[in-house]
């Protein structure tokens, strides 16, 4: 597939059936403008990954979409509704601070269900289904401090999925894990996606990972962040370790890298 430069694409990152629409988004920290009248659409039932230069605003944008951070101006809608009226999941980079240390793993996973209108039996059914689905071999009666980093992040991911979110946000979810665990978790996430088609938005500082998981890669410029490119990667799933040497992968990576380097040089 030929990767078209963005100037030939008539802003086709604005789409008819977007899941998340961002219009006129502005955000400043002090005098530093991170977003200035930013428009973007996040496609439905796809994995969109966000990549860009250090500090360009990758985490800021997903935090604003997820309503974890206020914006200065603009409108963000999920399925046409404000985020408060939708169900989202969020996986933080720092799983050590994300889990409740006073709750056992199983109670961490169950925690968000108390905010849904479910009976105790339904709650148990949801958790059991998820545990079975992930084929969890670890003892979920342990507390987070008794688990490895990878096990804790697995618990975090399960907690984000138990509400059956419309959109799942993940902020560098594997960056604190070792390589073996990272590969395993990427594949688990891909499996979840293939079965549920949950719209996902994943921030990554690793270009290879960003492409490997993506249907679409959003490349941001330095702040104030603009869409430097929005790149389609349509290699069939499941992708596996060898996918990174597939010619389509190599082509997309080269294109993304060129854009990234151009943006970094501008700084
Ligand atoms: N709460 C805050 N107060 C002040 N400045 C902030 C705050 N949060 C983020 N920033 C600044 O805003 C910019 C964008 O931050 P953000 O974390 O979104 O970047 P990022 O692209 O995710 O960065 P990285 O690649 O380092 O993870 C950075 O320059 C950061 O220092």
DSSP string, 11-47: TTTS-TTEEEEEEEEEEEETTEEEEEEEEEEEETTSE
Q: Does residue 64 sit within a domain?
A: yes
Q: Does residue 227 sit within a domain?
A: yes
For residue range 75-89, list pLDDT tens digits in order. 999 999 999 999 999
Ligand 1 lined by 56 (C-beta under 6 Å):
yes
CA angle 42, 200, 259 (to 5 degrees): 60
Ligand 1 lined by 34 (C-beta under 6 Å):
yes
pLDDT for the residue numbered 260:
95
Q: Does residue 94 sit within a domain?
A: no
Mutate to test the pocket of ligand 1, among 28, 34, 72, 174 (most ligand atoms within 8 A of CB): 34
pLDDT for the residue numbered 266:
82
High-pLDDT (> 70) share of the chain, % = 94
Locate the ligand 1 atom nearest the alpha carbon of residue 63 and give its number.
Answer: 18
| Count of CB atoms situated within 10 Å of the CB of 265 | 9
- DSSP per position, 187-222: HHHHHHHHHH--EEEEE-S-HHHHHHH-SEEEEE-S
Q: Does residue 183 sit within a domain?
A: no
| Å from CA of 55 to ligand 1 middle | 5
Judged against a pLDDT cut of 80, whether residue 14 lies above it is answered with: no
Judged against a pLDDT cut of 70, whether residue 94 lies above it is answered with: yes
Judged against a pLDDT cut of 70, whether residue 13 lies above it is answered with: no
pLDDT for the residue numbered 11:
53
Model confidence band, residue 71 (pLDDT cutoffs 50, 70, 90)? very high
Count CA within 13 A, CB hemisphere, residue 128.
Answer: 6
| Å from CA of 218 to ligand 1 middle | 17
Count CA within 13 A, CB hemisphere, residue 132.
Answer: 6
Question: What domain range is 31 assigned to?
Answer: 1-86+205-267
For residue range 111-123, list pLDDT tens digits in order. 999 988 889 999 9
Residue with CA closest to ligand 1 atom 31: 55
Q: Into how many domains does the chain fold?
A: 1
Q: Does residue 75 sit within a domain?
A: yes
pLDDT for the residue numbered 149:
87
Residue partners of 60: CB distance under 8 A and separation at least 6:
27, 34, 35, 69
Residues 7-26, mean pLDDT to the nearest whole number: 74
pLDDT for the residue numbered 95:
81
| Å from CA of 32 to ligand 1 middle | 10
High-pLDDT (> 90) share of the chain, % = 76
CATH number of the domain that residue 23 is part of: 3.40.50.300
In 3D, which of 41, 25, 112 has the Cα closest to residue 78? Answer: 41
Give the predicted TM-score (pTM) of the model.
Answer: 0.92
For residue range 196-234, list pLDDT tens digits in order. 999 999 999 999 999 999 999 999 999 899 999 999 999
Alpha helices, DSSP H, located in 80-218: 95-98, 105-110, 120-134, 149-161, 179-196, 207-213
For residue range 142-193, list pLDDT tens digits in order. 999 999 888 899 999 999 999 999 999 999 999 888 888 899 889 989 999 9
Model confidence band, residue 126 (pLDDT cutoffs 50, 70, 90)? very high
Mutate to test the pocket of ligand 1, among 57, 175, 202, 228 (most ligand atoms within 8 A of CB): 57
Q: Does residue 193 sit within a domain?
A: no
Judged against a pLDDT cut of 90, whether residue 28 lies above it is answered with: yes
Q: Does residue 194 sit within a domain?
A: no
Ligand 1 lined by 43 (C-beta under 6 Å):
no
pLDDT for the residue numbered 5:
44
Residues 62-86, mean pLDDT to the nearest whole number: 96
Model confidence band, residue 9 (pLDDT cutoffs 50, 70, 90)? very low
Residue 186: strand pairing partners: none
pLDDT for the residue numbered 180:
86
Q: Does residue 229 sit within a domain?
A: yes
Tell me the CA distances in angstroms from 108 to 1, 99, 152, 169, one per residue in order.
Answer: 44, 7, 10, 18
């Amino acid at each position: 597939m030929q990767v078209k430069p963005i100037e030939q694409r008539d802003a086709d990152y604005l789409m008819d059936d977007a899941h998340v629409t961002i219009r006129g988004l502005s955000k400043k920290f002090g005098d530093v403008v991170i977003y200035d009248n930013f428009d973007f659409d996040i496609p439905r039932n796809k994995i969109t990954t966000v990549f860009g230069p250090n500090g360009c605003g990758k985490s800021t944008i997903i935090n604003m979409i997820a309503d974890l951070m206020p914006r200065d101006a603009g409108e963000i809608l999920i399925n046409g509704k404000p985020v408060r009226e939708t169900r989202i999941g969020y996986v933080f980079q720092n799983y050590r601070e994300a889990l409740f240390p006073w709750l056992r793993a199983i109670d961490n996973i169950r925690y968000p269900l108390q905010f849904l209108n479910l009976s105790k039996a339904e709650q148990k059914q949801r958790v059991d289904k998820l545990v079975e689905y992930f084929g969890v071999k670890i003892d979920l009666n342990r507390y987070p401090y008794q688990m490895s980093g990878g096990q804790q992040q697995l618990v975090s991911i399960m907690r984000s999925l138990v509400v059956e979110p419309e959109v799942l946000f993940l902020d560098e979810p594997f960056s604190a894990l070792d390589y073996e665990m990272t590969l395993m978790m990427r594949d688990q996430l891909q499996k979840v996606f293939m079965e549920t088609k949950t719209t996902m938005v994943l921030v990554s500082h690793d270009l290879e990972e960003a492409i490997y998981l993506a249907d679409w890669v959003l490349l941001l410029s330095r702040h104030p962040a603009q869409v430097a490119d929005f790149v389609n990667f349509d290699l069939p799933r499941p992708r596996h370790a060898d996918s990174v040497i597939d010619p389509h992968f190599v082509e997309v990576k080269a294109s993304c890298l060129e854009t990234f380097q151009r943006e970094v040089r501008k700084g």
